[in-house]
Structure 1
């Protein structure tokens, strides 16, 4: 009887354990986010200002943007009220412009996006504070403001010029994603045909010069080979501003284990994205199957677009897309922790650059729910604080320290107008 009672008590304890953890999870997550608010790696509000308003924002109310919904477009994901609800204390605003533009056009457009982002920050001084250094981020958080940093998304923004890169830094850009969706004269994109086997010689010098001046190297969007090439020459921590783990979801935008294993030596941070097709493998497979069905219908029914549309509508009705969840995003964080370690994880939502986040994280208010899920999985308050902002703070301070150690080095020079599209 004693043995039976003991076994029953042990069984009850096993069942009660997770429930206790669940009860405490909200408290652990709340304490972590109070101590170390989210430092988000990527938000596309600036391109929303360009596409929706042509950057005419003098009368734009960023306190509440729910009224931006139109007949053809959903409301924006971000505003001051919702960033506060989401416990966001620092935000990398992406000054993205389309890589389909010519490079001179892209350089001009990037400057315009830096301008509109600075004007948005200046127009909301009670909530936003421009940050150019890690100390600025810390000061803004202490002041109860959302530290606002700027990052370029794609090397097309510098027009093959290290001089332009340096001037973008002077204007306030503090990271650059080496590519977006297009392979450049010096760097291969993850989602375009490769030309260089990663980075060519100029591409490696772009990384070196970014390190020298203190601009963080962002490896989201680049090919696996380019990730390795950048890590080979980087003297400062790299970031992935909005990516997932490829072992969990096989999208080429995600980071393979071969790269994750190198993050501890580099000190870099993978900021986990919330974009459903990057974090939910079933959803990625569904999208591929739909594309294949459309191609099949177009091959069977050439010149009959109405019948193709009807066939695709029938397929959609019979093949509902899977749901992306907070648990899916947490699975990526688990994997990165297992391969690279807790010191190399951050958050990079990609809000306002995607249709929606996962269920429960549809907009920037969802971060606390993610941290509750992580707490349920056994992440400590210290772990959560590292993920929310402390890892990013450490990486930026290290990049600044590296630049300080190189302050007496001369800039890397190339002849003006010379080709950068050379073999590695």
Structure 2
């Protein structure tokens, strides 16, 4: 999830489930036969909305959500990491307590969504869980933590969230915190804080994948150096596509690949964000959509879509996205690229507005000459390999 302050300031196994886990090749298009995962789904922000259900189909014309179970099936997205996102607040006892309460509540909401839809989706903790659920014909729900700020000054809380199912976590979000410098803030620690280095060790001990998205360059460098296991960037774009500190430069992508990690390509910050005063006001309401009545939600959508008619949030489109994806593959290699578009967190572009458009990515990659095995790696194999390599 992108907070208003951030927006203004700015994924050991080498392959995923085989095509044999689904219908024979002659029975359905390639994309629907691949095990497909996305490493950053901000949809949990919708799970507390009055009158809203993840099991229902929602249309972009009348809802801001880009992801639900029917559209996951439309786009043949088999699952991914549902984010426990927490806005960055003050580094105080109260700030930490409020953040922890929020993160626990969001984790519980993800659990409740899974229980409410247990006939079609299941909780995953391991790469093996993902493959098993896929064989059973169920969608896959991993948990991630976007921003470790809720841990406060107590690293033992990482074990609590590990026990709750978290298998991917980043140290920081849009502002510096007690663990690290953010890509979109003025450096405070010049990378990781001393406490942040302890966080890395505890992440490695527990077997939680480190997520370097939102980290400053120096933080990324130190995460890569200190981690005993490969790391991921769950939702990042290339700096060569758009020069923004939130994006990863090609030299660091090569270093990530050399250490066995993977970068999951996002649709955000491929251009400057058009954050007009009106869009900023709407974002302020969007960030608390779970507190709005159904009528207030509908009014927010109406005003958002009306603004879309005169100004777009991003200048990039699907063609720009695929150009960046192809460049990232060329630089990092098919063993080190994956997908994390940032659905429901600011992602989506013209031509790839919601999850139902995913097959277009596969079609374009096939046209570019990539093999079915390459596509399996990029859609889930690389993510599951990194997950399985965490020493657990």
Q: Does the TM-score normalized on the shorter chain lie above 0.5?
A: yes
* 1:261 matches 2:261: no
* 1:358 matches 2:349: yes
Higher RCO (CA < 8 A, seq sep 6+)? 2
Q: Which residue is 1:95 aligned to?
A: 84
- The correspondence for 1:378, drawn from 369, 379, 384, is 369
Q: What is the CA-CA distance between 1:62 and the residue it aligns to?
A: 2.1
Matches within 5 A, 1:6-21: none
The structure that has the greater radius of gyration is 1
- The structure-2 alpha-carbon separation of the partners of 1:319 and 1:241, relative to structure 1 and needing over 3 Å to count, comes to closer
In structure 1, runs of 5+ residues without a counterpart are 1-26, 54-58, 295-315, 405-424
112-121 vs 318-327, which moves further? 318-327
344-353 vs 333-342, which moves further? 333-342
Measure, in 1, the Cα distance between the counterparts of 2:83 and 2:274: 26
Q: What is the CA-CA distance between 1:201 and the residue it aligns to?
A: 2.1
Q: Which residue is 1:390 aligned to?
A: 381
- The structure-2 alpha-carbon separation of the partners of 1:320 and 1:105, relative to structure 1 and needing over 3 Å to count, comes to closer
**How many correspondences in the alignment?**
334
Greater per-residue helix proportion = 1
Partner-residue secondary structure (3-state), 1:241: strand
Q: Which residue is 2:55 aligned to?
A: 63
Partner-residue secondary structure (3-state), 1:175: strand
Partner-residue secondary structure (3-state), 1:94: strand
Q: What is the CA-CA distance between 1:390 and the residue it aligns to?
A: 0.9
Measure, in 2, the Cα distance between the counterparts of 1:159 and 1:36: 40
Q: What is the CA-CA distance between 1:60 and the residue it aligns to?
A: 4.5
Is this contact kept in 1: 2:75–2:356, CA < 8 A?
A: yes
Partner deviation per Cα, 1:29-69 (whole Å, 9 max, x = no partner):
x754334221101111111224x33xxxxx74322242697
Measure, in 2, the Cα distance between the counterparts of 1:117 and 1:133: 17
Q: Which residue is 2:157 aligned to?
A: 164
* 1:343 matches 2:335: yes
Measure, in 2, the Cα distance between the counterparts of 1:254 and 1:220: 8
Is this contact kept in 2: 1:31–1:381, CA < 8 A?
A: no
Is this contact kept in 2: 1:65–1:75, CA < 8 A?
A: no
Measure, in 2, the Cα distance between the counterparts of 1:320 and 1:206: 39
- The structure-2 alpha-carbon separation of the partners of 1:146 and 1:200, relative to structure 1 and needing over 3 Å to count, comes to same
Partner-residue secondary structure (3-state), 1:346: strand
* 1:105 matches 2:102: no
Is this contact kept in 2: 1:272–1:329, CA < 8 A?
A: no
Structure 1 length as normaliser, TM-score? Answer: 0.73
User: Over aligned residue pairs, what C-alpha RMSD do you find?
Assistant: 2.6
- The structure-2 alpha-carbon separation of the partners of 1:164 and 1:374, relative to structure 1 and needing over 3 Å to count, comes to same
Partner-residue secondary structure (3-state), 1:274: coil
Q: What is the CA-CA distance between 1:319 and the residue it aligns to?
A: 8.7
Partner deviation per Cα, 1:272-298 (whole Å, 9 max, x = no partner):
1123xx12x3xx2x748x79xx9xxxx
Partner-residue secondary structure (3-state), 1:169: helix
Measure, in 2, the Cα distance between the counterparts of 1:353 and 1:317: 20
Q: Which residue is 2:299 aligned to?
A: none
Structure 2 length as normaliser, TM-score? Answer: 0.79
- The correspondence for 1:238, drawn from 220, 231, 235, is 231
Q: Which residue is 2:120 aligned to?
A: 127
Q: Which residue is 1:214 aligned to?
A: 207
- The structure-2 alpha-carbon separation of the partners of 1:179 and 1:320, relative to structure 1 and needing over 3 Å to count, comes to closer
* 1:188 matches 2:188: no
In structure 2, runs of 5+ residues without a counterpart are 1-24, 281-307
- The structure-2 alpha-carbon separation of the partners of 1:261 and 1:80, relative to structure 1 and needing over 3 Å to count, comes to same
Measure, in 2, the Cα distance between the counterparts of 1:225 and 1:79: 36
Is this contact kept in 2: 1:220–1:240, CA < 8 A?
A: yes
